[in-house]
């Protein structure tokens, strides 16, 4: 019989879990237990502290609904979502547009819209354009690529946070033309504070962090045979561009709204011009989404 103490407990758990038939599950769980145990030993975790953490995680779960995903918010604010994105990008065989956070406000089934449509039902700020190409890693245009876009309004609110969260606004799905071009109308979003009325907000306040994300527009771009790009374009000049609460900004995703330009497909509008490059898909590539439509996560958990 093994003497269980604060050191031998780790091997005892690893031995018992070594029967796990799925090799990847075995690897992930063994590493998780090793790191969790090391963490508890490093900080000399007390029962009160662990119970407080369990209360916190319970509150995170209780805050989740089909319109709100507090666990994704936790992963985002701990930098874990961005880390998983960076690992995903590193695994690609070809270089493509860098990933950024999917965030908790993505929705499946946003309306399919013809190129050029405005994604805002009642714009209360000047309309701008966004255009560019979806290409492969050699710069060749990809026809019929799916470009899903979603963003907050001019005050920093997503449709999911408004009075009727069923009402879809500020989002749409476009298809590139035969040359891989896309273009759409929208408004410039405002940066916003992440949802702070839950346990993750309590954590952010306890750490004296500001809680803001810089202004950005989300994109999910995909085409058959290519890795899906889950990313966002950030607006330069935002005061929080270098201190995003969820670590989503990287230099290649920072863009500017430029003056109207006769060579643009929306020549009368100030526009953001950005080309998305998709890397070829490999047999190992499943999804690059760190997160999902909250309603889909709830549905899966219930089954
Ligand atoms: C977002 O960009 O939608 C977002 C990402 C992480 C946390 C909160 C919001
Ligand atoms: Fe966002």
Q: Is any ligand 1 atom within 6 A of the Cβ of residue 73?
A: yes
Q: Are residues 85 and 184 in the same domain?
A: yes
More confident residue, 293 or 118: 118
- Closest by alpha carbon to 276, among 171, 175, 181? 181
Q: Are residues 225 and 76 in the same domain?
A: yes
Residue 130 three-state SS: strand
* pLDDT above 90: residue 300: no
pLDDT mean over 181-188: 98
CA-nearest residue, atom 8 of ligand 1 = 194
Flag whether 296 is in a domain: yes
Q: Is any ligand 1 atom within 6 A of the Cβ of residue 200?
A: no
DSSP 162-228: SS-TTS--SEEEEE--TTSEEEEEEEPPPPEEPP-SSHHHHHHHHTT---EE-SEEEEEEE-TTBPP
* pLDDT above 90: residue 273: yes
Q: Are residues 96 and 218 in the same domain?
A: yes
Query: pTM for this structure?
Result: 0.90
Looking at the 3D structure of the chain, how many domains does it have?
2
Are 108 and 146 contacting, i.e. CB atoms less than 8 angstroms apart? no
Q: Above pLDDT 70, what percent of the chain? A: 94
Over residues 236-266, the pLDDT tens digits come to 999 999 999 999 999 999 999 999 999 999 9
Over residues 110-165, the pLDDT tens digits come to 999 999 999 999 999 999 999 999 999 999 999 999 999 999 999 999 998 877 87
Q: Is any ligand 1 atom within 6 A of the Cβ of residue 68?
A: no
Q: Are residues 41 and 137 in the same domain?
A: no
* pLDDT above 70: residue 104: yes
CA-nearest residue, atom 3 of ligand 1 = 103
Flag whether 40 is in a domain: yes
Q: Are residues 40 and 149 in the same domain?
A: no
Q: Mean pLDDT over all residues of the chain?
A: 93
Report the separation in Å between the CA atom of 105 and the middle of ligand 2, taken as the mean of its atom positions. Answer: 7
CA-nearest residue, atom 5 of ligand 1 = 103
Q: Is any ligand 1 atom within 6 A of the Cβ of residue 212?
A: no
Domain of residue 273, residue span: 70-302
DSSP 118: B
Are 231 and 253 contacting, i.e. CB atoms less than 8 angstroms apart? yes
Q: Are residues 115 and 209 in the same domain?
A: yes
Q: Are residues 41 and 133 in the same domain?
A: no
Query: What CATH number has the domain bearing residue 116?
Result: 2.60.130.10
């Amino acid at each position: 019989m093994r003497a269980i103490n604060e050191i031998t407990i780790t091997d005892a758990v690893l031995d018992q879990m070594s029967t796990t038939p799925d090799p990847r599950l075995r690897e992930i769980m063994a590493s998780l237990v090793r790191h969790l145990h090391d963490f508890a030993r490093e900080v000399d975790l007390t029962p009160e502290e662990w119970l407080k953490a369990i209360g916190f995680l319970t509150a995170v779960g209780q805050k989740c609904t089909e319109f709100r995903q507090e666990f994704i918010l936790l992963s985002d604010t701990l930098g874990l979502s961005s880390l998983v994105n960076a690992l995903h990008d590193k695994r690609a065989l070809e270089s493509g547009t860098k990933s950024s956070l999917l965030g908790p406000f993505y929705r499946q089934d946003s309306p399919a819209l013809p190129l050029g449509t405005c994604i805002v039902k009642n714009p209360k700020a000047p309309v701008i354009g966004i255009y560019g190409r979806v290409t492969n890693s050699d710069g060749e245009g990809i026809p019929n690529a799916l470009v899903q876009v979603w963003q907050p309004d001019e005050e920093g609110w997503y449709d999911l946070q408004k009075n009727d969260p069923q009402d879809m606004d500020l989002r749409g799905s476009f298809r590139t033309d035969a040359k891989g071009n896309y273009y759409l109308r929208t408004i410039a979003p405002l940066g916003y504070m992440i949802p702070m009325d839950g346990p993750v907000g309590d954590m952010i306040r306890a750490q004296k962090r500001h809680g803001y994300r810089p202004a950005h527009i989300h994109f999910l771009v995909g085409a058959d045979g290519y890795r899906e790009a889950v990313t966002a374009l950030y607006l330069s000049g935002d005061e929080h561009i270098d201190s995003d609460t969820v670590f989503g900004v990287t230099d290649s995703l920072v863009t500017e709204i430029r003056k109207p330009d006769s060579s643009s497909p929306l020549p009368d509008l100030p526009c953001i011009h950005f080309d998305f490059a998709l890397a070829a898909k490999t047999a190992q590539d499943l999804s690059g989404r760190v997160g999902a439509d909250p309603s889909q996560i709830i549905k899966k958990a219930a089954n």
